Structure 1
């Protein structure tokens, strides 16, 4: 297909629907962004408490006009540090049309979740896996570093954004990581146990006892340390670094166990990470398979006339154009060196634009660019560096195949830029969820514990369940291992790095943790689920069964019932 300067195949109707929805929202926001309420019709509001650091007084007013004025007079307190001001858009632009506002924000929420998962599946994970190959990392090390980062990137960046950029919403990141760990270690493990019992071919599957006990004990120890940190209420830089360093100890233990087992039995290849061949990307491969099936069906069908052929070509190109809004910005800024997706023009453009985008993100503070002398110099340097990299890419690459020399530089660039896009999307997602909390009058911790945790963990649910059902006995082992290694990574790296950055920002004083009276309840139920698995699974000879699955699901739903009952 020569219509595009890169190899591109239209995907499913779901992807086309999401792209058209994005176009509609973009046009709608552009047309309505200049619409403001008549200031003469809005009465002046005397704030009862102007020293508040949040938007907690928003619901003291009943009508949209008063809320709009309150938001404008408290623009710093009501700002959620995203690129868009959702509260002002909801109450000022669409104040008289609240239903339309809800629909718009919900569609945008779905788009953000899709973009996060799709970016991880199509850009982040392939770069992480290829880097592990180029760096000759063993499966044990790769499975505990790069590959979990691919699956847990959403949780990690959501937590970091929550602590470092979104005012008074660190509780969102804290609850999203804990909620995701709870969801995966209880709900996903429970579902896998139930499905394994229902599948006759999977009966009698046993889980490696030493690896299971190691992972569960590390998670319990990590959560116990977190309980101590929450009780103290303040985190210094050194405490945050020590908390994050637990993951280094975990990697060391994994490597030691891996080499010991390999020395005992050279024919038994331990794989402590995720299977690269059977892992199911989130919203990625399903679309491509569907497209390939349709292509095969079209090629094997009976010959058609020239008019029909022209019509099909036009439709194919039109569908390709509809795919571009969400696809093209990332493709233009993330270097891709995959054999099937290689394109020299796109490689040159991405090498040129990548530094500029990175500098642009650094220059943004909330919704505006800070035009300081330092940021202007950084932007100018990024343009200069981008032009140099673009020229180097043009003269050092071929049209037919991706580069073979210095491949790690391209992979590192793709890794950094996919990380940058994940950062951008995670920041906007946290901002939108905090805004939803203000609009609906729901605690942000509940949104982080449910909506954000479920959305970020959907990929783990899909991939781990598919791995358990289709990967044979080894698939069940890897799926359950991922259900504990992933949350451990998210907790230690996601929360750990967040606490390091937040405490470093407050240095030399300590960072004060956001107060949430329900955190101990969440941690208690999470540890209870881990202890249940730690007791039941060894008693069942390390064979997942109904007792394990029903118990974990009961613990999870009991927690949700109590949390929602107290939250509302």
Structure 2
């Protein structure tokens, strides 16, 4: 999910301004006590003692593969500004790799699977399209719920932050752009009401869970499986619509219209005539090559027999390394995986062509590409959550706030760019799909993303119920989002379902009020010590 440069610069500027303001002091943010891991580091004054604290305390050990706290407090203890900027740069790189993995590997595999399974557009559009757009949100949420500390809070806030961004900012920007270009788009009323009502229903269920403060295993399964009801309703409405129009549904061989993003690495290769482009490609190669060598791709434009052979050899080995829990099992599983990989590589060498992708056993190829893209998304999302927790510790800010803003923006800007492109260039049908995605996507993220996160968290704690992270301001976030949905639900029918400035201005005003309240509380403009109705939750 590529970030637009202007939006990215604005986000980075806001983040750096707030962060550096508070890293200049050794104290936590006003009115926002630190509840992150490794909080003891703020009790030390000298750089040496902070480094020793990070190295000796178990809470300071990394949840991912890199110890960011040791890098900041030990390796670059004399240059904290440089260390902070490097961590920010790595944050942007992780966002890019996460979104690029979804767009270049995950989405093509999902789209190809839909063709093989002959899914109708109605079913594919309510499952595979949101899965393609929301995969980074879903995996980041699942990883965060399995982490200790404030991980669950990051997951909740990132999903809700992304949902309110997409349902307000993206819809508002789409409406403004359509008005600016004098394009009249009439939103399909039944489908719009269905999506908004289901989104309100998902938020009300989530609000009940937040107020209760816990959820058990069977309740989490019920929450996640509610998405099946949504799929059934979409399919029924699609069937009735086609029956009334008496138009045969022969589009199911085309699969869903997934707004895929183009890999910048491949674009650089095709245009590398200048030294600058070649240099950029070399810089991007370490990010591109590991995934390309382990994720099988058999599309016509990306088919490469050497890469295919290497990927089927290395993919089992990578799975063994990721799934192994001890060193002993890691060695055994790696040897077995290597034997399996060489056998698969030999079959690929003997049975495939150098000029065209395979035409047989396509389901196995697509499923393997899907599985490996999921594994890579899991790895990157785990590292992203670990970095956000470390940044929260360094700047004295709750990771939940970072999840609500930085993580949510990074995962949702792709929806903004892809939906805007679809609405502006694909005509009325593209605009309909884009608007539907703005509400169907959050439904998917809440029921499936948070639902599976709850299921996994409850399974790990079974039979004890999973305790939802205490955050009195989650209800506030849900309230702002409900306001945006009610505004759209009231304004659009009165405006004859036309996307116009009235809808856009209200939605954008609601989101900026939401941001103002959040950042005002962070910087101490709002006294959080005042009585709060959810303080005891």
The two structures share one fold, judged by TM-score above 0.5: yes
Distance 1:467 1:449 in 2: 26
- Relative distance call for 1:318 and 1:454 in structure 2 (3 A) is closer
User: In structure 2, which of residues 326, 331, 345 is the aligned counterpart of residue 390 of structure 1?
Assistant: 345
How many angstroms does 1:322 deviate by? 4.4
How many angstroms does 1:488 deviate by? 0.9
How many angstroms does 1:267 deviate by? 3.2
Distance 1:86 1:445 in 2: 18
Show CA shifts across 1:119-168 (max 9, x none): 11111111111110011000111111122111111000000000013543
Counterpart position of 2:30: none
- Relative distance call for 1:271 and 1:433 in structure 2 (3 A) is farther
How many angstroms does 1:499 deviate by? 0.6
Please say if 1:114 is aligned against 2:75. no
Counterpart position of 1:409: 364
Contact 1:82 / 1:428 at 8 angstroms: preserved in 2? yes
Counterpart position of 2:23: none
Counterpart position of 1:54: 37
Please say if 1:152 is aligned against 2:113. no
How many angstroms does 1:100 deviate by? 1.2
Contact 1:262 / 1:270 at 8 angstroms: preserved in 2? no
Show CA shifts across 1:525-564 (max 9, x none): 0111111111111111100111110000000000110011
Contact 1:338 / 1:402 at 8 angstroms: preserved in 2? yes
Counterpart position of 1:495: 450
Show CA shifts across 1:468-512 (max 9, x none): 111211121111001011111111111111110010000111111
How many angstroms does 1:97 deviate by? 0.8
User: In structure 1, which of residues 226, 229, 241 is the aligned counterpart of residue 221 of structure 2?
Assistant: 241
Distance 1:68 1:542 in 2: 59
Name whichever of 375-384 and 433-442 sits farther off: 375-384
User: In structure 2, which of residues 518, 521, 528 is the aligned counterpart of residue 566 of structure 1?
Assistant: 521
Distance 2:85 2:121 in 1: 45
User: In structure 2, which of residues 45, 54, 63 is the aligned counterpart of residue 71 of structure 1?
Assistant: 54
Contact 1:80 / 1:167 at 8 angstroms: preserved in 2? no
How many angstroms does 1:265 deviate by? 0.6
Instruction: Show structure 2 runs of 5+ residues with no match.
Output: 6-34, 524-537
Distance 2:365 2:255 in 1: 24
Counterpart position of 2:237: 257
How many angstroms does 1:388 deviate by? 2.0
Equivalences for 1:456-495 in 2 at 5 Å? 456-495=411-450
Distance 2:63 2:472 in 1: 25
- Relative distance call for 1:166 and 1:153 in structure 2 (3 A) is farther
Equivalenced residue count is 489
SS in 1 for 2:65: coil
How many angstroms does 1:337 deviate by? 0.2
Query: What TM-score do you get using the length of structure 1 for normalisation?
Result: 0.82
Instruction: Show structure 1 runs of 5+ residues with no match.
Output: 1-13, 15-51, 299-311, 365-369
Aligned-residue CA RMSD (Å): 2.4
User: In structure 1, which of residues 336, 361, 374 is the aligned counterpart of residue 322 of structure 2?
Assistant: 361
SS in 2 for 1:57: helix
Q: Which runs of 4+ in 1 moved over 4 A?
A: 268-272, 274-277, 285-292, 314-323
Counterpart position of 1:505: 460
- Relative distance call for 1:317 and 1:96 in structure 2 (3 A) is closer
How many angstroms does 1:57 deviate by? 2.9
- Relative distance call for 1:86 and 1:239 in structure 2 (3 A) is same
SS in 2 for 1:404: coil
User: In structure 1, which of residues 419, 422, 431 is the aligned counterpart of residue 386 of structure 2?
Assistant: 431
User: In structure 1, which of residues 125, 128, 132 is the aligned counterpart of residue 110 of structure 2?
Assistant: 128
| Structure with bigger gyration radius | 1
How many angstroms does 1:69 deviate by? 1.7
Distance 2:79 2:264 in 1: 37
Counterpart position of 1:224: 204
Show CA shifts across 1:206-247 (max 9, x none): 000000000011111111111111111111110110000111
Contact 1:175 / 1:449 at 8 angstroms: preserved in 2? yes
